[in-house]
C-alpha cells in the first residue's frame, strides 16, 4: 500500500523538473535486521548458536546482489557476529551505534548516508523501532523472542520514505 504511494510521489518529484540537487533526491536504502539466534546462557553478552552462525552466513547469500556502503551493529557480540560475514564480503569495518540513542542514530544515518545502501544489525526491540523512526511511522511492533526471519527495508528520498517488511527464511531460495 505504501509502495505505490512512494512510487507516485517519486514520479511527481522527478516529473516536475524540481531544482533539488542530486544529493537531496538520491535514493537511500537501509536494511535493518535483527541479530541471528543467540546462545542461551548466563552471560549478558552471548554469542551465536550454530543456527545463528548459519543465519549470518545465509545473509551473505541473501544480500549477494547488494553492495553496502556502510554496516552498523550495536556493540554486542551477537550483533557483531551477525554483521561480520557481510562486512567481510563488502570489505567494510562494522561501525557500532548505541541502541539506547536510536533517534540520534536515525538522524545520523539519514544525513551521513544520503544516496547510499546501509545495513544495520540490531535487536528484537530496536530494529522495528529504528524502522519506525526512519520510515516516519509508529506501527511496527517489537519482535518476539523467537522471531529472526524479518528484514526491514527502508527506502528514502528526502523526507519521503517507504518501509517494507520481508519474511526471509534460511534454506529457502533467495529472491
pLDDT by residue (tens digit) across 122-146?
Answer: 999 999 999 999 999 999 999 999 9
Residue at 172 is within a domain: no
Reported as a single tens digit per residue, the pLDDT across 52-89 is: 999 999 999 999 999 999 999 999 999 999 999 999 99
The pTM of this model reads: 0.85
Asked whether residue 35 is assigned to any structural domain, the reply reads yes
Does residue 175 form part of some domain?
no
- CATH number, domain of 83, equals 3.40.50.1240
Residue 67 lies in a domain: yes
Cell numbers that stand for 97 in this block = 551505534
Give domain status of residue 159, yes or no: yes
Task: With beta carbons less than 8 A apart as the criterion, state whether 36 and 78 touch.
Answer: yes
Instruction: Tell me the residue range of the domain where 145 lies.
Output: 2-167
Query: How many domains does one find in the chain?
Result: 1
Amino acid at each position: 500500500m505504501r509502495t505505490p504511494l512512494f512510487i507516485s510521489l517519486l514520479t511527481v518529484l522527478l516529473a516536475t523538473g524540481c531544482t533539488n540537487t542530486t544529493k537531496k533526491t538520491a535514493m537511500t536504502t537501509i536494511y535493518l535486521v535483527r541479530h541471528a539466534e543467540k546462545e542461551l546462557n548466563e552471560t549478558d553478552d552471548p554469542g551465536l548458536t550454530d543456527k545463528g552462525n548459519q543465519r549470518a552466513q545465509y545473509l551473505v547469500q541473501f544480500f549477494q546482489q547488494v553492495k553496502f556502503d556502510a554496516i552498523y551493529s550495536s556493540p554486542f557480540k551477537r550483533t557483531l557476529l551477525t554483521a561480520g560475514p557481510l562486512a567481510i564480503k563488502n570489505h567494510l569495518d562494522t561501525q557500532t551505534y548505541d541502541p539506547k540513542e536510536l533517534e540520534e542514530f536515525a538522524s545520523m544515518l539519514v544525513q551521513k548516508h544520503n544516496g547510499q545502501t546501509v545495513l544495520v544489525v540490531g535487536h528484537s526491540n530496536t530494529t522495528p523501532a529504528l524502522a519506525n523512526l526512519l520510515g516516519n511511522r509508529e506501527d511496527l511492533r517489537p519482535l518476539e523472542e523467537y522471531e529472526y526471519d524479518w528484514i526491514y527495508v527502508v527506502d528514502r528520498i528526502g523526507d519521503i520514505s517507504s518501509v517494507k517488511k520481508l519474511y526471509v527464511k534460511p534454506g529457502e531460495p533467495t529472491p
